[in-house]
Structure formats: structure tokens, C-alpha cells
Amino acid sequence: MSQLDPRVTAARADLASSELKGRVDAARFVDPVEHQVIIPAAPIRQAPDHAAAMDDQLLAGEVFAVLEARDGWAWGQSRADGYVGWVDMAGLSATIHPVDHKVSVLRTYAFSEPSIKTAPNHLLSLNSCFAAGRREGRFVEAVGLGWVIAAHSASLDDTASDCVAVAEAFLGAPYLWGGKESLGLDCSGLVQMALQAAGQDMPRDTDQQEAVLKALWRDVTGEPERQRGDVVFWPGHVGIMTDSEHLLHANASSMDVTLEPFAEAEARIRTAENPVRAIYRPA
């Protein structure tokens, strides 16, 4: 069998998705059962334990393909970016509402009724998705979640014109390993969310993102000038240039999403870890 990336391969020695028959060895294969996220963000963890490390998050409306359920936990795979792990089933529903809209601002409340004076059910982050139901005044119903301000949403096929402007909206958001919601995210989560909002689906981790952009964008690593929208990769780290001199990135040095001179960030990261590996620019 060819070597598959375990981060995005729903297979263990004892259990694997039936979608992988013929590609992996496992004691048994099961058909995935799709569930939908019904909370703002559901952590994907390395083990069925709230203290286990979080590798990724599922945003409201995203789908998780469940392969095993036990003790209130589900093991399976994100249909959004393919990540495999354990999710608390309290945040999942077996009822799927096909989504057609998404949150188009950094964050917005889903209210219990179509009124700003009612209690909010959830605080939804950018790129959360939902099935749009009834409309009342300024509100659209996010089926199963609540009522959101219609101006804070968009059709799934609507895209932001500038991924950098999307990323800039996250300035000051806390750094959180494995996060991709507006209340906390890591370097690759920031890039994933910004490019997704602009219409470019991205995988979760930096090496996966680098491989995608290497195939789709232009390699400008050796060019003397950087420009707005360039995506800069180090081993294990990534950021976005806002202009020729400044880098926007979620980082564990300042523990938030920061805008800083590229030269300072590059020197610090090179000293502590590694030099820049690649820079890609939209083709």
C-alpha cells in the first residue's frame, strides 16, 4: 500500500472508512455517517478527552464523517479539510441541513429570535456556514442555529476580493494551536480562513498549504521585492504580506495575530528555527 498522510486518512489498524477500501489495511471497514456541527467551533482532538491536544476545529455548519462513536465521542474525518480525529458529540447533530450561506464578517451573533433584543444562541465566526431559512426584516434564519443579521452573511459562492483584508480583520485575535475561529487561531488557521473567504479552499497545515500554493501560484522566493498578498512559508510557519515590508501572521511569540516588519519577523524566526523556505504569489 502507498503511504498516506495519517492526518487526513480515516484509517487505524482496527478501523477504517469504507471509502478507503483497497488503499489501506484495517481489521474492518465502516461506512461514514455524516453529522453537522451545531456549535460555533468543535475541536478535533488527538484523543477522546477534553484535555487532549486540538489539531483542528470544525466551524458551525461543517460536516464531520463519523466512523466510531463511544462514550460521547466520535472518531472520524472533517469533510471541510479532511482532518481526522476525535470530536465531542455534544457539538454534532445527525440531522444535516444543506448549507447555502456563510458568515462573511469576522464574527456575528445568532439570536434566538429575529431581534437584537433577544438572547443570542451562538457567536459565529467567519466562514461558518448555514442553511438560510426565513427572512424577517434585517434577519435571516440560520436553520438550527438562530437568526443572524443578513448583511453579515453571503451566499456560499460569494467571495472576498482581497484575502489580505480578510486576514487583517483578525488582527489581535489570540493565538491558539489548532484554532481557526475568530476567537483564537494559529498561523495556518489564519491563512486557511483568509484564502477560503476569497474562494481558495486550503488544507489545514502549513506543509499542506505550501504544496497547494506551489501547484497553483507563482514561486517568487528568489525575487528581491515582496508585495501584498504574497504568502511566506517557513518550516512549520506561514504568514501573509500586507505590503512589501510588513508580515501579518498568527504567532506564538506575541501570542496573537500581529502585523510587524517582515525583516524583524524573518530574523527572529530564522534565529529560533529556520529561514524562509518559499514565497508564493497569486498567478
Give pLDDT tens digits for 217-238: 999 999 999 999 999 999 999 9
User: How many Cα atoms are found within 13 Å in the side-chain-facing hemisphere of 241?
Assistant: 22
Identical fold at 6-93 and 101-155?
A: yes
Q: Once rounded to an integer, what is the mean pLDDT over residues 85-97?
A: 99
CA distance 218 to 279: 8
Q: Once rounded to an integer, what is the mean pLDDT over residues 202-208?
A: 98
- Decide if 36 contacts 62 (C-beta within 8 A): yes
CA distance 237 to 247: 12
Q: What percent of the chain has pLDDT over 90?
A: 97
Q: How far is CA 32 from CA 3, 69, 77, 203, in A?
A: 22, 11, 9, 21
State the architecture of 6-93 in CATH terms: Roll (2.30)
Using one digit for the tens of pLDDT, what is the confidence trace for 71-83? Answer: 999 999 999 999 9
Full-model pTM: 0.96
For residue 3, what pLDDT is reported? Answer: 85
Task: Locate the domains of the chain by residue range.
Answer: 6-93, 101-155, 163-281
Pick the CATH number of 101-155 from 2.30.30, 3.40.50, 1.10.3470, 2.60.120: 2.30.30
3-state SS string over 59-80? ECCCEEEEEEEECCEEEEEECC
pLDDT interval class at 245 (50, 70, 90): very high
- Decide if 112 contacts 147 (C-beta within 8 A): yes
Grid coordinates belonging to 198 = 476569497
Q: Once rounded to an integer, what is the mean pLDDT over residues 2-27?
A: 96
For residue 274, what pLDDT is reported? Answer: 80
For residue 2, what pLDDT is reported? Answer: 58
CA distance 280 to 283: 9
- Decide if 30 contacts 18 (C-beta within 8 A): yes
State the architecture of 163-281 in CATH terms: Alpha-Beta Complex (3.90)
At position 191, the amino acid (one-letter code) is V
Grid coordinates belonging to 108 = 456575528
